[in-house]
Amino acid sequence: MRVHGEKVISRRKNIETCSDYHDYLPELREDFQHMCGYCGKIEAITKNAFEIDHFIPKKYAKEKENDYNNLVYSCYVCNRKKSDKWPSKDSKIQFVDSKGIVDPASDDYDSHVERRENGEIYGKSEVGKYMVEEVFKFNLRPIREVWQLMKLIEKKKQLREKIKANMEKNIQEYLEMDEMLDVLEDILFENKE
C-alpha cells in the first residue's frame, strides 16, 4: 500500500510567491493533508511540531529557499534525519547510482517506497532502500507503531460515533482500544518519534 494510505498529497499551483518560506506553512499543511510528506505520520500523534523541509537542501540550492515547489511538510524526526542529505553536490543531480531522494509530492514517490500491511515502510527500488535505510532510517524507527496508532485513532473516532448512538454495546471495545492507544503513545514518546 502507499506510504500515505488513501491520501494523495500534491502542491497547489499558482501560489502567491512569499519572500520567506515560513509564510507557506498554512498552505503546505493543507496540501500535505496534515501529515508528513516522507513517512505519512499525522500531526495528531506527534510530540513535536511539524516543520518545513527543503527537498533540495538550501546548501545546494540557495535559489530554491523560498520556492514552494521545493518545500515539504515534514515531521520533526524526518526533517532531522534528512537534514541536508543530497546524493550529489549539484542541485540538478537527484540520483547517483542507487542513491537518491524522491519528492514525496511526486507520482514517482510510490514507485520507490511502500508501506506493508503491518505499517512498516520499505524500499521497492534501490533508491527506495537508500531512502529507507540511509536517509530517513525508517527501518530503525517505530514506523509500524506510528501506523498502528494512526489506524487506532481513526477507529477510535468511528467507535466514538457508534458509542454516541448505542452507549452500552460498544463500551468494552472502546476501553480496550483506549488502553492500546496509551501503550503505543508511550512507545512513541520513549523513542522520541
Distance CA 179, CA 105 (A): 35
Q: What is the DSSP letter of 56?
A: S
Distance CA 4, CA 10 (A): 12
Q: Which tens digit of pLDDT belongs to each residue from 160-191?
A: 787 777 766 667 777 788 888 888 888 887 78
Q: What grid cell was written down for 116?
A: 506493508
Distance CA 7, CA 109 (A): 13
Distance CA 177, CA 113 (A): 29
Q: Which tens digit of pLDDT belongs to each residue from 59-84?
A: 999 999 999 999 999 999 999 999 99
Counting Cβ atoms within 10 Å, is residue 37 exposed (0-12), middle (13-18) or buried (19+)? Answer: buried
Give the predicted TM-score (pTM) of the model: 0.84
